[in-house]
Amino acid sequence: MSRYIIEIVVVLLFVMVNHSFFSGEIVLGVESIEELLFSNNISTQIGDIYRFYLENERLFNIMINLMFMINLVLSLFLIKFYKSYRETSKDKEDLIKKLKGQNVLLEDIKIHVWTFKDKETYGLVNKAHAEFIGKSKEEIEDSNIYNIYTKEEAKRSINHNRRVFREKVEIYTEEIFKDKNGQDRILAVTRTPKLDNQGKIEYLICSASDITAHKMTEEKIRNMTYYDSLTGAYNRGYYEYILPKLDREENFPLSIIVADLNGLKLANDVFGHEAGDKLLKTSARILKESIRGHDIVIRWGGDEFCAFLPNTSEAEAKVIIERIQRNCLELDLAPFPPNVALGTATKYSFSDKIEDVFNKAENMMYKRKSEEKNNINNPILASLIERFLNNGYEEEEHLIRVRELSLKFANKLGLSENLTNKLFLLAEFHDIGRLTVSSGILHKRGELNREDLDELDKHIEAGYNIAKNFKILNPISELILYHHENWDGSGYPIGLKGKEIPLLSRVLRIIDAYDIMINGRPYRQAVSKEEAIRVLQEGAGIKYDPELVSQFIELVEDNQEVRGDKWKEIAE
């Protein structure tokens, strides 16, 4: 046993000495070692070793120090290794805890998180994404995208994925996906490539959040900002926004149509703002239906609209104008159908200033508006008259009789041609305001109550406002307003008295009352000619101009009384 120990010590001494680095020389020869190892005398070996030590004491001290240093370094290394191992183990434990925490976080958040192994194969998915789709995570993971999305959604997603794999960039998109209930939802999707050390894409990380509510809010704000709430057309704010985008070469020729709605003030003043709003909404709808899908309709002002027609020549714009006019005429709307004055102009190049083109179209519109307003065949007035006569607001026979009596009375009074023409026109339109009265009152059988009478009385001011809106009727507007004033000031709507009341209004007051008495109304029975004359005589100086009453009684007593259709024959 001891022999083997000694042999090991000697071999170690040999190795350590012969491989030492503090001196480049071999201190002990191989022969000296062999003598120590292979001697059979144990005592001799011990003595020789001791002698060997004494002869090489310095060398042994150096070797001992060297072994101590090696042991120290080895110990420090082992300590550091152990410490590193402990720290690494702790880091691993922390990492495991962290990953578990992240997994919990990804499962609990409402944000969708998933990966793609390639452009169309799912990797991992979190709970939010799986619940949105309506499948389990196991059903989705490793599945082809066509098995998860609709065909359209899958194609769109693959295109986005392909771009990320090709360009190795993160992209953001807003896409519509159907949820598990089949409802369209808008998702904000971010696709991020995960690169390895060589810069190759390992997989795609996707995250998404549902922004449907946000987009709906944006849409409401945009509608408030750029849309007219009443008509649904774009508003002037949108005009300012879109004009620079339209004024580009790719849109030339760019035609502009300017439209002004006729009769809006009339509708508001006479028939109420509800009728005016209805007229505006209907006009906007006709404009939008008459143009093409990519054209733009803007409510420019209160009763003004404009339409921008990209890539449209002036000739094509005129065809659209004709379509608008035709669509207006074909519509039956109370109290009258939309009527718009239209003008157009076209921008062909950058040398044409768009403001000048707009002004040219606007000037053309105003010219046509003026022509229509002064036209005796004004379409709005014609529509009102047709409705007035055909919808039971007034009996045509009554108007015929009143016109005929007016001409005869004007002749008896020796009125000038101008006054006679005015009286004839007044006889035609004095009750035009009855368009605003409920048909239930106009056709009511029996006596009218106070509320009914108050409603009926409003037709005076309504007729005045209607007449003011038409050049042909404007001269008789005040005559209409005052034809229910009484001689003693007890009439309406102003309470004028005596000769404060215009002559023609006083004349018509008598003629109208007389014809109603002898022919009746739904709410009033007819009386005899004699009874009607008696009522006029009793009202002279109270309701009627006494001098005019005398002249009128002479007229009707001197002439054979004619009723109903015979008066129509005379007028014809």
Determine the structural domain holding residue 316 and report its residue range. 230-373
Supply the DSSP string of 334-399, one letter for each residue.
SS---EEEEEEEEE-STTS-HHHHHHHHHHHHHHHHHHHHH-TT-HHHHHHHHHHHHTTSS-HHHH
- Could you tell me if 45 and 153 lie in one domain? no
Phi-psi region of 414 (alpha: psi -120 to 50; beta: other; left: phi over 0): left
**pLDDT at residue 29 greater than cutoff 50:** no
Global pTM value: 0.62
Between the alpha carbon of residue 71 and those of residues 9, 232, 266, 334, the distances in Å are 17, 91, 112, 112
Task: Say which CATH number the domain at 320 has.
Answer: 3.30.70.270
Q: Are residues 190 and 148 in the same domain?
A: yes
Q: Do 37 and 123 fall within a single domain?
A: no
pLDDT over 50 (residue 473): yes
340 and 415 co-located in one domain: no
In this structure, is residue 69 part of a structural domain? no
Q: What is the pLDDT of residues 61-95, one digit of tens each?
A: 556 555 555 655 555 555 555 555 555 555 556 54
Provide φ and ψ at 200, rounded to 5°.
Answer: -90, 150
Q: Is residue 87 part of a domain?
A: no
Q: Mean pLDDT over residues 45-67, rounded? A: 57
Instruction: Give the CATH number of the domain where residue 201 resides.
Output: 3.30.450.20
Same domain, 186 and 239: no
Q: What burial class does residue 339 get, using C-beta atoms within 10 Å of its C-beta: 0-12 exposed, 13-18 middle, 19+ buried?
A: buried
Q: Strand, coil or helix: what is 572?
A: coil
Q: Considering the chain, what is the average pLDDT of its residues?
A: 84
What φ, ψ does residue 470 adopt, rounded to 5°?
-130, 130
Residue 39 lies in a domain: yes
- Whether residues 185 and 158 share a domain: the answer is yes
Which of residues 314, 342, 373 is at a domain's end? 373
Q: Are residues 210 and 252 in the same domain?
A: no
Same domain, 242 and 365: yes
Range in 20-29, 380-389, 507-516 with the lowest mean pLDDT: 20-29
DSSP structure string for 135-200: S-HHHHTT-BGGGTS-HHHHHHHHHHHHHHHHH---EEEEEEEE-TTS-EEEEEEEEEEEE-TTS-
In a domain, residue 362? The reply is yes
Residue at token pair 């997994």 = 103
Q: For residue 440, tell me if it sits in a domain.
A: yes
What would the pLDDT profile of 493-515 be if each residue is shown by its tens digit? Answer: 999 999 999 999 999 999 999 99
Nearest Cα neighbor of 233 from 287, 277, 294 is: 287
User: Cα 395–398–404 angle (5° rounding)?
Assistant: 145
Q: Which among 21, 40, 55 is the end of a domain?
A: 55
Its sign, for the CA torsion 403, 404, 409, 412, is positive
At residue 258, the 3 state secondary structure works out as strand
Question: Does residue 102 lie in a domain region?
Answer: no
Tally of domains within the chain? 4
401 and 457 assigned to the same domain: yes
33 and 114 co-located in one domain? no
Residue 236: CA count within 13 A, CB half-sphere: 5
20's enclosing H/E stretch is none
Instruction: Examine the domain organization and report whether 396 and 528 are in the same domain.
Output: yes
Report yes or no on 136 lying in a domain.
Answer: yes
Q: Are 225 and 137 in contact (CB under 8 A)?
A: no
Q: How far apart are CA 524 and CA 519, in angstroms?
A: 9
**pLDDT per residue over 519-547, tens digit each?**
988 767 899 999 999 999 999 999 999 99
Q: What is the distance between the alpha carbons of residues 256 and 268, in angstroms, rounded to a whole number? A: 28
- Kindly report which listed range (55-59, 123-127, 426-430) carries the lowest average pLDDT score: 55-59
Same domain, 418 and 559: yes
- Residue 67 inside a domain? The answer is no
